[in-house]
Structure 1
Amino acid sequence: MTLGSAASGAAPGRLTDHEARQRLEHERESRLTQLQAIEAAGVGQQASDDLLASQRASTRSVLKEIDAAFERLAAGTYGSCQGCGRAIPAERLEILPYTRHCVGCRSSAG
């Protein structure tokens, strides 16, 4: 997916660079807040160590995906499926802005 410039607006069904960046920044902030809450919940907790560790690892993994999406945005490859190379629909990017795959490729990957 080629993203339109923020100044010229996006073509129908596409996100502008600015919109993509905003969505990614919002996701990053949400995940950082979530990680802080997990860390705070873990203070003095031993009964749920496995659950907290799993939540912490999952949140950190999503943060890495978000960072990778920022790299793709800078490289001009954001919005292109890494499986088939086709454009990822804007609707999918609005819901999951750090995704690397279209629904079809993600479904077939497992």
Structure 2
Amino acid sequence: MPLDTRRSEPWLERLTAHEARQRLEHERSSRLTQLQAIDEADESTSQPLLSAQKDTVHRVLKEIEAAFTRIQDGTFGICRGCATAIPVERLEILPYTRYCVPCQRDAT
């Protein structure tokens, strides 16, 4: 959903810039904790598995940083595929997403 700093239409829920930043900060913090846990993992854990996990976490961290940039430039919550608003429910679950569900299916 597009960002809105006011809540003038209660039936039309929007994610404010502040709420989006909070969700992204939480996601970033969670991913950094994951990285720390991977780094502290036991030597008995498969190294290829750890490497793949680290790669995935680093990819998500890059997506989170890109979402912060989209907040700044005003494109956060707009689907990169079809240019429509991404539903707030999707942004609550995956705040760094760039696509609505139909476009995400097409992108993968």
TM beyond 0.5: yes
Residue 14 of structure 1 corresponds to 14
Residue 28 of structure 2 corresponds to 28
C-alpha contact 2:7 2:14 (8 A) present in aligned 1: no
User: Which ranges of 4 or more aligned residues in structure 1 deviate by more than 4 Å?
Assistant: none
Match of 1:107 among 99, 105, 108: 105
Q: Deviations over 1:32-87 (max 9, x none)?
A: 00000001115xx2650000000000000000000000000010000000000000
Any gaps of 5 or more consecutive residues in structure 2? none
Match of 1:58 among 49, 56, 59: 56
Q: Which amino acid aligns with 1:34?
A: Q
Q: Which amino acid aligns with 1:22?
A: Q
Relative to structure 1, the CA distance from residue 51 to residue 58 in structure 2 (aligned partners, 3 Å threshold; closer, same or farther) is same
C-alpha contact 1:10 1:16 (8 A) present in aligned 2: no
The alpha-carbon deviation at position 2 of structure 1 amounts to 2.2
Identity of aligned residues (%): 58
